[in-house]
């Protein structure tokens, strides 16, 4: 029986099928061209990789990195393996660079890794590689789509920022003259020693040391000799204690030693007496034979001191008693501070300072360094005018207020009065943009502190955006989660938050990034010699760089000379306050400056 198609019909059928195949191939080619256009439009390097590591597709960005793909069609690159394009090597990824294809094959999910790829000039670039699985209809892995983003510059910036942060941490936690731990690091180490002592049932001793006649030596032989003597004393003290113990310098000739793992009180006394004997050996400094003696206040961890601050404070009280008695060693005991007549008198008088209308607020203007006539805010500063004692220094009564707990009602009074004063200036049309108020640690840690601030704003009629609350660096570094919650609540209220005395604490970059802050205030101790002391300059530059990386503004405190202001301008500091611009003043005196500032801006 003959076929149903004769030769003519067969030829026609073959022609029809050939045309259909050509159309199909044309459609596939068009779809591939369209897909290639889409891939080439992407800025990231994209490669489609088969299970044999061979390239199925790659875009223009990927071809630029492969010397083999220069000046050739993309189809000619598809005979290459992925590692030839990315790593310029002839074997798959191993060692430090896990293979994305193998990782996807193992996990069956998208993966992200960091690789070092090489560009067409064979220069290494750090890439963030995302590999996504390609699955067939049967669920079998056919290959991956790999996209790579160049993060070289970002990693470089992050590394630089981390180095600066580490340097800032060191400078901020160590004494610049001696290299010893400062107060912040001392507190941290003493807290750790106390925790170990509680676990092991052993004592910890804090020894507060002061050099007798140091001021006389400093003034007679010069500050250079005084500094060299302090360095020599620091080295001598470190040799006298174990490596696990801590020797810190707080200020001037005041040192604190932390000695732990003690069995009893006599062991601590023996260490203290050994130090006093060693200090009596003459010190040769710049050709001068200097004879010094020391006084030590000793506090043990079982003596009325629950924390590091309490121990140092009690050791300081014992030191004061030792010096009053002519030097030597004095151990703290309960009631030692209470025997100080001036302390008792001040504490009692402070209890009645508010009700007897003895407290005053002075205000120190804050200015823009770009135009020092433009006042950008004022800081409220507390003064105590006692009818018998006269003007009591804040350095005398603020520590008493903090220790006795009176800092809370006093701080509340300051906040309310500052907000009322701002509203009075606002009604006169001369209010500055910001009223800055210092907040103590006890105030800040009160339950419901945010609500208390809100009520003050409601009573006074002051808008939250004009109020800046200043908290110290040490406050934010304790109970970080609780601090974050309080700061977030205040931020939601609309008030500004600044960190006061920044650089004197022990803060971490990782923590700072969590806080909703607006401004950092550089401590006056760094500003004092900023134009002549490379260490102060380095710390201040680092603080400004850190602040700007976190989108914060910077205000320098204690600016007294034009040289300081000019240096701060040059390194990018926005604002400042200090005697160069204005001293703290009574409200009526500030009003004159506020009017002048408005007139200059008009």
Pairwise CA distance, residues 364 & 586, whole Å: 9
Label residue 122 left, alpha or beta by phi (over 0 means left) and psi (-120 to 50 means alpha): left
Among the residue ranges 46-60, 555-569, 574-588, the one predicted with the least confidence is: 46-60
Among the residue ranges 94-98, 495-499, 571-575, the one predicted with the least confidence is: 94-98
- Residue 177 pLDDT exceeds 70: yes
Count helices and strands in the chain by DSSP H and E runs:
22, 21
Q: Any idea of the CA torsion for 49, 54, 56, 60, to the nearest 10 degrees?
A: 80
How far CA 353 is from CA of 176, 259, 470, in Å, comes to: 39, 40, 23
Pairwise CA distance, residues 505 & 186, whole Å: 11
- Residue 507 pLDDT exceeds 80: no
CB 472 within 8 A of CB 501: yes
- Residue 97 pLDDT exceeds 80: no
Pairwise CA distance, residues 346 & 342, whole Å: 6
Q: Which two tokens stand for residue 282?
A: 């003459």
CB-based contacts of 230-236 (< 8 A; 24+ apart in sequence): 230/177, 230/178, 231/177, 231/178, 232/283, 232/285, 233/279, 233/283, 233/292, 234/178, 234/179, 234/180, 236/278, 236/279, 236/283
| pLDDT tens track for 368-384 | 999 888 999 999 999 99
Among the residue ranges 60-74, 208-222, 381-395, the one predicted with the least confidence is: 60-74
CB 86 within 8 A of CB 49: no
The DSSP bridge pattern shows strands 519-522 and 496-502 to be: parallel
- pLDDT at residue number 70: 61
Pairwise CA distance, residues 220 & 481, whole Å: 51
> 164-339 in CATH: which number?
3.30.70.270
| pLDDT tens track for 10-30 | 666 666 666 666 666 656 556
Q: CATH 3.30.70.270 in the chain, residues? A: 164-339
Pairwise CA distance, residues 248 & 410, whole Å: 32
Query: What confidence tier does 324 reach under pLDDT thresholds 50, 70, 90?
Result: low
Pairwise CA distance, residues 337 & 333, whole Å: 9
Q: Which residues of 477-507 are buried (b: 16+ CB within 10 A; e: fewer)?
A: beeeeebeebbebbbeeebbbbbbbbbbbbb
- pLDDT at residue number 456: 97
- pLDDT at residue number 58: 83
Residues 6+ apart with CB under 8 A from 554: 519, 520, 521, 522, 543, 544, 547, 548, 572, 573, 574, 575
- pLDDT at residue number 1: 43
What residue ranges in 192-277 does DSSP mark as E strands? 203-211, 246-251, 254-262
- Higher-pLDDT residue of 513 and 336 is 513
Nearest Cα residue to 348 out of 401, 408, 398: 401
Q: CATH 3.20.20.450 in the chain, residues? A: 407-601
The mean pLDDT of 207-232, rounded to a whole number, is 85
- pLDDT at residue number 213: 79
- pLDDT at residue number 219: 65
- Residue 4 pLDDT exceeds 60: no
Query: What confidence tier does 464 reach under pLDDT thresholds 50, 70, 90?
Result: very high
Q: Which two tokens stand for residue 600?
A: 């200059």
| pLDDT tens track for 136-150 | 888 899 999 988 888
- Residue 505 pLDDT exceeds 60: no
The mean pLDDT of 570-591, rounded to a whole number, is 95
- pLDDT at residue number 57: 83
Pairwise CA distance, residues 14 & 576, whole Å: 90
Query: What confidence tier does 553 reach under pLDDT thresholds 50, 70, 90?
Result: very high
Task: Tell me what the pLDDT averaged over the chain comes to.
Answer: 85
**407-601 classified as CATH 3.10.20.600:** no
CA angle 455, 460, 466 (to 5 degrees): 90
Pairwise CA distance, residues 511 & 484, whole Å: 9
| pLDDT tens track for 26-66 | 565 566 666 667 667 677 888 888 999 988 888 887 777 77
The H or E element that residue 544 is part of is helix 534-549
CB 69 within 8 A of CB 85: yes
- pLDDT at residue number 248: 95
| pLDDT tens track for 290-322 | 888 899 999 998 765 668 888 998 898 888 888
Across 36-50, 310-324, 449-463, 506-520, which has the greatest mean pLDDT? 449-463
- Residue 240 pLDDT exceeds 80: yes
Backbone angles phi, psi at 161, to 5 degrees: -65, -40
Query: What confidence tier does 236 reach under pLDDT thresholds 50, 70, 90?
Result: very high
Fold designation for 17-150: Beta-Lactamase (3.30.450)
Nearest Cα residue to 248 out of 308, 311, 336, 175: 175
CB 581 within 8 A of CB 373: no
| pLDDT tens track for 405-447 | 889 999 999 999 999 999 999 999 999 999 999 998 888 888 8
Q: Which residue has the tokens 């009893």?
A: 264
Pairwise CA distance, residues 299 & 336, whole Å: 11
Query: What confidence tier does 462 reach under pLDDT thresholds 50, 70, 90?
Result: very high
- Residue 468 pLDDT exceeds 90: yes
Pairwise CA distance, residues 235 & 240, whole Å: 9
- pLDDT at residue number 33: 65
Residues 6+ apart with CB under 8 A from 145: 46, 47, 48, 49, 131, 132, 134
Question: How many CA within 13 A on the CB side of residue 215?
Answer: 3
Q: Which residue has the tokens 């049309």?
A: 429
pTM: 0.51
| pLDDT tens track for 243-267 | 999 999 998 899 999 999 988 888 8
Q: Which residue has the tokens 């043990």?
A: 300
CB 183 within 8 A of CB 248: yes
């Amino acid at each position: 029986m003959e076929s149903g198609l004769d030769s003519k019909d067969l030829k026609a059928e073959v022609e029809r099928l050939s045309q259909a195949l050509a159309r199909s191939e044309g459609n596939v080619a068009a779809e591939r061209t369209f897909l290639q256009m889409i891939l080439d439009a992407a800025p990231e390097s994209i490669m489609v990789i088969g299970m044999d590591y061979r390239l199925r597709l790659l875009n223009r960005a990927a071809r630029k990195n492969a010397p083999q793909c220069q000046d050739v069609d993309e189809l000619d690159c598809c005979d290459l393996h992925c590692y030839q394009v990315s790593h310029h090597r002839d074997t798959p990824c191993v060692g430090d660079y896990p293979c994305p294809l193998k990782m996807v094959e193992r996990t069956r999910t998208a993966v992200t890794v960091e690789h070092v790829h090489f560009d067409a000039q064979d220069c290494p670039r750090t890439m963030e590689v995302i590999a996504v699985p390609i699955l067939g209809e049967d669920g079998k892995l056919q290959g991956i789509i790999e996209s790579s983003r160049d993060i070289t510059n970002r990693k470089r910036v992050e590394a630089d920022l981390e180095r600066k942060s580490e340097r800032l941490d060191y400078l901020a936690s160590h004494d610049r003259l001696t290299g010893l731990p400062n107060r912040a690091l001392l507190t941290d180490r003493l807290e750790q020693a106390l925790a170990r002592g509680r676990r092991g049932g052993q004592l910890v001793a804090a020894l507060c040391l002061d050099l007798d006649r140091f001021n006389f030596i400093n003034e007679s032989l010069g500050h250079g000799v005084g500094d060299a003597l302090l360095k020599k004393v620091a080295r001598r003290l470190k040799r006298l204690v174990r490596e696990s113990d801590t020797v810190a310098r707080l200020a001037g000739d005041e040192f604190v030693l932390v000695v732990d793992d003690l069995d009893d009180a006599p062991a601590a006394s023996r260490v203290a007496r050994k130090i006093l004997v060693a200090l009596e050996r003459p010190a040769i400094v710049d050709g001068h034979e200097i004879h010094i003696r020391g006084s030590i206040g000793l506090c043990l961890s079982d003596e009325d001191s629950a924390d590091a601050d309490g121990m140092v404070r009690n050791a300081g009280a014992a030191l004061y008693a030792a010096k009053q008695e002519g030097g030597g060693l004095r151990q703290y005991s309960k009631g030692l501070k209470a025997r100080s007549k001036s302390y008792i008198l001040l504490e009692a008088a402070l209890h009645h300072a508010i009700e007897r209308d003895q407290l005053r607020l002075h205000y120190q203007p804050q200015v823009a360094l770009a135009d020092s006539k433009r006042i950008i805010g004022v800081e409220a500063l507390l003064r105590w005018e006692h009818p018998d004692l006269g003007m009591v220094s804040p350095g005398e009564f603020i520590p008493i207020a903090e220790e006795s707990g009176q800092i809370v009602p006093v701080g509340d009074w300051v906040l309310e009065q500052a907000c009322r004063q701002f509203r009075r200036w606002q009604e006169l049309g001369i209010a500055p943009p910001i009223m800055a108020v210092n907040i103590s640690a006890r105030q800040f840690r009160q339950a419901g502190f945010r609500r208390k601030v809100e009520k003050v704003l409601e009573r006074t009629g002051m808008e939250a955006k004009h109020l800046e609350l200043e908290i110290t660096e040490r406050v934010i570094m304790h109970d970080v989660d609780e601090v974050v919650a309080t700061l977030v609540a205040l931020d939601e209220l609309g008030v500004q938050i600044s960190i006061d005395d920044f650089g004197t604490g022990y803060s971490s970059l990782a923590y700072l990034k969590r806080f909703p802050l607006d401004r950092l205030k550089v401590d006056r101790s760094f500003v004092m010699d900023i134009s002549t002391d490379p260490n102060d300059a380095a710390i201040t530059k680092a603080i400004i760089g850190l602040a700007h990386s976190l989108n914060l503004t910077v205000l320098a405190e204690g600016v007294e000379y034009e040289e300081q202001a000019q240096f701060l301008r040059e390194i990018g500091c926005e604002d400042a306050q200090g005697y160069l611009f204005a001293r703290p003043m009574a409200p009526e005196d500030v009003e004159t400056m506020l009017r002048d500032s408005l007139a200059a801006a008009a």
